[in-house]
């Protein structure tokens, strides 16, 4: 399940009273949404406002699904790949970076006891370099 803050932020891009589309107030935008859509719309390369918004909502849904895929994974649902470095969550609420290794009994972690590990997730991307951030270290 996606973090509610991420979902709210993504959906707020489409549902806001302060929608800033050049030349449209929010009331005009809403009216255009209803009136510009045409009955024979195939949604393939359609540029009516409703189709653009529906496509954007579909993209938001895809982004949320990707966020869900990157979230914590239950050990009972899926094991990390052999040799993969992951973040693990233990039954005591401790988060650490650990390596996972497959064996005949399923697998083991370098540091943690298997029975203590409840969830895992891939390591995040490393921080951006200062050059990528315009001279500010991230």
The pLDDT assigned to 32 comes to 58
The pLDDT assigned to 128 comes to 73
The pLDDT assigned to 125 comes to 78
Cα–Cα distance for residue pair 138/133, rounded to 1 Å: 7
Tokens of 11: 């959906």
The pLDDT assigned to 113 comes to 87
The pLDDT assigned to 56 comes to 73
Q: What is the pLDDT along the chain (138 residues), one digit of tens a residue?
A: 455 666 666 666 655 544 445 555 656 656 655 555 566 666 666 666 667 777 777 777 787 777 766 688 999 999 999 999 999 999 988 888 999 999 988 899 998 888 889 999 988 778 777 666 666 655
Cα–Cα distance for residue pair 56/49, rounded to 1 Å: 10
53-73 in b/e form (b: 16+ CB < 10 A) is: bbeeeeebeeebeeeeeeeeb
Helices (H), the chain: 4-12, 26-35, 49-69
Where in the chain are the domains?
4-69, 73-122
87-116 in b/e form (b: 16+ CB < 10 A) is: ebbbeeeeeeebebeeeeeebebeebeeee
């Amino acid at each position: 399940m996606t973090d509610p803050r991420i979902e709210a932020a993504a959906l707020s891009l489409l549902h806001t009273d302060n929608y800033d589309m050049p030349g449209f107030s929010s009331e005009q935008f809403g009216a255009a949404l209803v009136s510009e859509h045409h009955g024979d719309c195939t949604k393939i390369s359609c540029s009516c406002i409703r189709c653009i918004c529906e496509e954007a909502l579909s993209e938001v849904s895809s982004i949320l699904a990707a966020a869900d895929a990157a979230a914590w994974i239950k050990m009972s649902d899926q094991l990390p790949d052999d040799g993969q470095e992951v973040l693990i969550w233990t039954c005591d609420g401790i988060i650490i970076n650990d390596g996972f290794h497959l064996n005949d009994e399923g697998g083991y972690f370098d540091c943690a006891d298997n029975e203590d590990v409840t969830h895992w997730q891939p390591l995040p991307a490393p921080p951006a370099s200062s050059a990528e951030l315009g001279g500010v270290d991230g």
